[in-house]
Structure 1
């Protein structure tokens, strides 16, 4: 019979999968939304940037929220809000409403992401072995399944509003059942002398550098998630179903990389693994730039998926173990890393408007190359006391 912590590992993996399924569902039907609202590349990029604005607003505050309500309750609350928010974007009637709803979408995503990653690091500590890559692999499984489902819904010409509403209801039930099986960290209240998670984290030193590596990995991930289907549709002239398939193959290789990532890291070390991944991702982005066939473009998106697969999980794990608490580490690095989510839609859309969507993926190639160059930052986790971590790697604004 499995131990309680092993059962909790599977529960938190299910939470990650539900979170990824929401995002994958949304990304797979972006062509429908863009066509429905008649959005150009620049308008779509600006609207999508509101997701990251919401994430960046909510994530630094989510650490204190997790401490206040506890791991299980905070995860249940934030995951429920994230699933519910899926139904909103497809209801938009114009670009202003779309951008506003995406702001809410991003805020719910950021808080849920923060809660589940902090929970994952707690479980990793209790198990005494690396599981974060696998947990993010579960998230990618959710994206992958949702992307394939989105392709099928698109091929059947199902209205995205119906697709999103039905999917949101099902995920809400599954997410709440999984989150209810989680434990700790327990809810706390402020007491004199008690160490509190800060209201806001501004990382510096090694943690800031880890966050910048995460930024360079999140940018290609967001670019491929949100622009692969658009690239296939508008640059190569693929039909909507084939365009959605590009998101699927990207998610497929990212999923495979993350599910096997913990084992690969134990063999080769984090630094060498991340260096190879960065080079693979850069190669994939260059293939997208030169692609003139659907097959070559899909191969490029597959390589990008493999390239970014383990970088973000290893960044979160390194920060969570380096900081005074997982909530502090995740919140600090996520604040920097997820800034790429704000930059990617607007940068990709801006470059596309100024030149072409094809050349915008040169930015992805450059940032993936920087991941390879800075891979050594994730090779070791400094072992220090909680007080040292708090004072040297973070400015805390309470």
Structure 2
């Protein structure tokens, strides 16, 4: 494959990640409007917001079969277009049952699109022969921040969410239609044999998924509880508590955008080991902190520690599975499940023993990534063609 095609595919898959993140960021800012529109209480809204997680977990293992039937590039293009359109549906739901149904469908589309775009990232990375997955996940964060910023403006001026998200859907769909034709076909490694309808992860993918589970658990715990921790444990002001999340998010995004350069220099095994040490050190700081400054520093280290782990795990799984889609689907299902469990687990432990004990668990899980790091070296990105001998 010529270098120009690979470059175009790399730009297209980066745009795909950004578009996926923009959908998520746009929806998140209008949840209060949707809650008021359907007249939902906190419990009802919480149940409705569980629907996307359920849909994702159910659908992600099926992505390999769909990709086999339709072709990986067509599957990614179709799912991305549908995911962009789906952001317009939640504000149209008139009641809680329909909102749950709509969000369930959104979860199915978002989860399968996530697997398809990560499989694309694995293939492009193979052709480039260098790490790019961390930067792709960084583009997802950039898209989420852009969608969220536009949503904040729309909410501030009182724009009806039905109008706002319909416009967002149209703009993002145009971007999806422009990026889709430049994606690559993912090779089928099953010699034409169709994958199972619901693919269970292999042992290697399961271990990789457990590494991702630890990283996503730390990410979700810090994301949802850092502001509460600052306020309740360190006695900080509301502004400082909110700033803890901003600091965490910025270090994680910066770590992902810069992570590929680090991985190229020291390799994925060393990168994950250093990440585990940074994350665990941040967890220790958070557990011991009784004033705001060390706690914020701890959350920043956690953000830096988890930044590159999930992208590297996705790459390794895509190269370890029977096909990239199946490997990514197995890891995504295991990893993202921890993101759904972490907030409630942290709350439950905190209710019994306090928030510092909850983040002691987070620290242990982040440190647990250390012994599994060596597995990533076996499935790192490799060039799809032999490298040229440099001229003397």
**Would you say the 8 A contact 1:221–1:305 is kept in 2?**
yes
* Separation of aligned partners in 2, 1:106 and 1:270: 30
Match of 2:13 in 1: 12
* Separation of aligned partners in 1, 2:58 and 2:69: 18
Match of 2:274 in 1: 276
Pairing 1:232-247 to 2, within 5 Å after superposition:
238=238, 243=242
Partner SS for 2:193: coil
**CA apart distance, 1:380:** 2.7
Q: 1:129-167: per-residue Cα shift (whole Å, max 9, x none)?
A: 222222222212212333444455555565655544433
TM-score scaled to structure 1, two decimals? Answer: 0.78
* Separation of aligned partners in 1, 2:119 and 2:295: 36
**CA apart distance, 1:126:** 2.1
Match of 2:110 in 1: 109
* Separation of aligned partners in 2, 1:158 and 1:237: 31
Cα 1:262–1:166, aligned 2, differ >3 Å: closer, same or farther?
same
**CA apart distance, 1:319:** 1.4
* Separation of aligned partners in 2, 1:154 and 1:355: 38
Q: CA RMSD in A?
A: 3.9
Match of 2:61 in 1: 60
**Would you say the 8 A contact 2:13–2:120 is kept in 1?**
yes
Match of 2:26 in 1: 25
Say which of 362, 365, 380 aligns to 2:363: 365
Q: Which structure 2 segments of 5+ residues have no match? A: 382-392
Cα 1:200–1:265, aligned 2, differ >3 Å: closer, same or farther?
same
**Would you say the 8 A contact 2:64–2:199 is kept in 1?**
no
Match of 1:39 in 2: 42
Larger Rg computed on CA atoms: 2
Partner SS for 2:42: coil
Match of 1:393 in 2: none
Pairing 1:1-398 to 2, within 5 Å after superposition:
3-28=4-29, 37-39=40-42, 47-89=48-90, 99-153=100-154, 163-185=164-186, 194-225=192-223, 238=238, 243=242, 248-285=246-283, 299-351=297-349, 360-381=358-379
Partner SS for 1:142: helix
* Separation of aligned partners in 2, 1:294 and 1:30: 30
**CA apart distance, 1:219:** 2.0
**Would you say the 8 A contact 2:64–2:326 is kept in 1?**
yes
Partner SS for 1:202: coil
* Separation of aligned partners in 2, 1:114 and 1:82: 13
Match of 2:387 in 1: none
**Would you say the 8 A contact 1:71–1:182 is kept in 2?**
no
Partner SS for 2:378: coil
